[in-house]
Amino acid sequence: MAEGELGAVFRALAKDAAEAAEKAAQSIAKVTEQTADIEERNVAEIVDADAKAADRITAAGKKDTSEAAGAGTRPVPPGPPWPVADGVEGAARGKALNPPNARHTVAGARSGMVRPDNSVVLRGNEGAMRDDVAQIAAGNAHWNPATNRYEINGRSYGVEPSGTVFPDSGPGIVKLDRNEYAALTEIAKAGGDPAKVPAFQHNPRFVNNPEAIAKAKAIYDGTYEG
């Protein structure tokens, strides 16, 4: 074969090789692009699946919270005072509720007015009492028309015309008669020391009712179990 013909053959082979290499590169690029598209779709599907799973978990959590709070539980308004929700029955209707007067606490009894019937929230229950008032305002308490009281968490409360709530009975609440509350008032003024109350030695209401002093002292000390 002549030298010129041999060169032509090599040139043709080189051309064919170049075309084959170009086609191979194009095929590889296409496969790479398809693979990237598939990976992108897979990642998107994974992210979407994770998002849906998170939504299901969140929804389940909300459902559990709602069920734990109890069916029909209404959100508590900010306060005090706590505006009473629409539809609430009883003495609280249309009012804004305030927590009980300080005279219903052990510390506040030192300046409290002695009445025929008195009630005091035992130490450590003040926060629960405020929460109960907020729940009454939200409409989460049971109104008992027979007693004119709201019942919640085992405790009962009345509502004054002004909207001030007062504790009536239940866990953490103790009732006192005139002598018992008067004794608590004196003990609170004396810083918890009955020996510093001269009236306990001279006033007939105390001399004739030593049990009233004992009850008041236990309430003040936080040891009362009624």
Per residue in 33-61, pLDDT (tens digit) is 554 444 444 434 433 444 443 343 333 33
- For residue 210, CA distances in Å to 20, 118, 122, 193 come to 114, 18, 21, 15
As a dihedral over the C-alpha atoms of residue 192, residue 104, residue 224, residue 199, rounded to 10 degrees, the angle is: 40
- For residue 162, CA distances in Å to 29, 101, 156, 225 come to 82, 12, 18, 32
Q: pTM for the full model?
A: 0.66
Closest alpha carbon to 178 in 104, 109, 113, 116 = 116
Q: Where are the domains of the chain?
A: 1-73, 82-221
Per residue in 202-218, pLDDT (tens digit) is 999 999 999 999 999 99
Strand pairing partners for 97? 82
- Identify the pLDDT of residue 120: 98
